[in-house]
């Protein structure tokens, strides 16, 4: 069984402060050290600002052959509002923004230009054979309805032949009524369905855990199961995804991942529980890499 396990960022604050050993402090050193422990990672910074070709070239050079980067789409690409300063300076004149400096409804031309800039930036990873998928993490207000399907079809065209990964953040896509249609739609696009492990609650902004695949790739993101903080005000992502998986919780995934690996070409399990915990001696540690290493051990044991 071959399952590739990694974390959703190698530069998250919890990793930077707690996981890397003393002396491993530069961006180059950290990525090299990360790649000694895991063979895949998600690029999270690309959601907040468009990456550059120089960045992607450096990432490719700092990792060994076979390493895989999945790159999170820039916010505008997934219909998230962005601030005008998040755009490259030469693109800002094309943007219409509100009094708070937010671009909520960009023109189709600007959004298309952003897709093009993004793809040019990640081309060095593709040329090096290290580009996995482009992660389209949809916001919770993109719900199951015709216009949402139409947008995903348009986005698929913009991504040309790049591998498209789609994560839903509203449960309407995966209800008993809509699940079959949603998965069949992704298969036709084509795009890879992103499974999620999240709190077992019935809030609309928590997609249920559905084990399935719509391409020859199976992709799982583990967000933690902290129901108490998922919808709490303040604290942001660090608070929402603050959860240390227990051995029993991780063991729940060994069987499904084994089954997926028996039929899929690739299987990825990516940890996004980017908080911190303390060991029995009170020493803090980063949750995501600890759980990623633990899952790898469980998979080896099975």
pLDDT tens sequence for the chain (302 residues): 589 999 999 999 999 999 999 999 999 999 999 999 999 999 999 999 999 999 999 999 999 999 999 999 999 999 999 999 999 999 999 999 998 999 989 999 999 999 999 999 999 999 999 999 999 999 999 999 999 999 999 999 999 999 999 999 999 999 999 999 999 999 999 999 999 999 988 889 889 999 999 999 999 999 999 988 887 776 677 778 889 999 999 999 999 999 999 999 999 999 999 888 888 788 999 999 999 999 999 999 97
Enclosing domain of residue 24: 4-301
Domains: count for the chain: 1
Three-state secondary structure call for residue 52: coil
User: By the 8 A CB rule, do 152 and 180 touch?
Assistant: no
- pTM exceeds 0.85, yes or no: yes
Q: Which CATH number goes with the domain that contains 12?
A: 3.20.20.410
Render the burial of 148-175: b for 16+ CB within 10 Å, e for the rest.
beebbeebbebbeebbbbbbbbbbbbbe
Number of other CB atoms surrounding residue 98 within 10 Å: 11
Residue 137 makes CB contacts below 8 A (sequence gap 6+) with: 47, 72, 73, 78, 167, 169, 194
């Amino acid at each position: 069984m071959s399952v590739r396990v990694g974390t959703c960022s190698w530069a998250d604050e919890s990793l930077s402060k707690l996981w890397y050993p003393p002396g491993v402090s530069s961006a180059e050193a950290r990525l090299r050290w990360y790649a000694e422990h895991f063979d895949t990672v998600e690029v999270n910074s690309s959601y907040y600002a468009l990456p550059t070709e120089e960045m992607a070239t450096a990432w490719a050079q700092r990792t060994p052959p076979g390493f895989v980067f999945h790159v999170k789409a820039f916010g505008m690409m997934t219909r998230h509002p962005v601030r005008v300063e998040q755009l490259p300076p030469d693109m800002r004149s094309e943007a219409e923004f509100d009094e708070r400096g937010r671009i909520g409804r960009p023109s189709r031309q600007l959004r298309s230009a952003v897709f093009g800039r993004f793809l040019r930036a990640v081309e060095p990873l593709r040329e090096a054979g290290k580009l996995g998928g482009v992660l389209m993490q949809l916001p919770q207000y993109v719900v199951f309805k015709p216009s949402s399907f139409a947008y995903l079809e348009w986005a698929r065209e913009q991504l040309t032949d790049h591998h498209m990964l789609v994560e839903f953040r509203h449960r309407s896509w995966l209800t008993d009524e809509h699940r079959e249609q949603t998965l069949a739609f992704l298969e036709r696009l084509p795009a890879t369905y992103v499974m999620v492990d999240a709190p077992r609650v019935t809030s609309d902004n928590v997609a249920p855990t559905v084990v399935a695949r719509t391409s020859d790739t199976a992709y799982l993101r583990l967000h933690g199961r902290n129901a108490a903080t998922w919808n709490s005000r303040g604290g942001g992502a660090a608070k929402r995804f603050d959860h240390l998986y227990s051995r029993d919780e991780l063991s729940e995934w060994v069987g499904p991942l084994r089954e997926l690996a028996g039929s899929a070409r690739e299987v990825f399990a990516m940890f996004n529980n980017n908080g911190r915990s303390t060991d029995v001696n009170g020493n803090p540690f980063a949750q995501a890499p600890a759980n990623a290493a633990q899952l790898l051990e469980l998979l080896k044991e099975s």
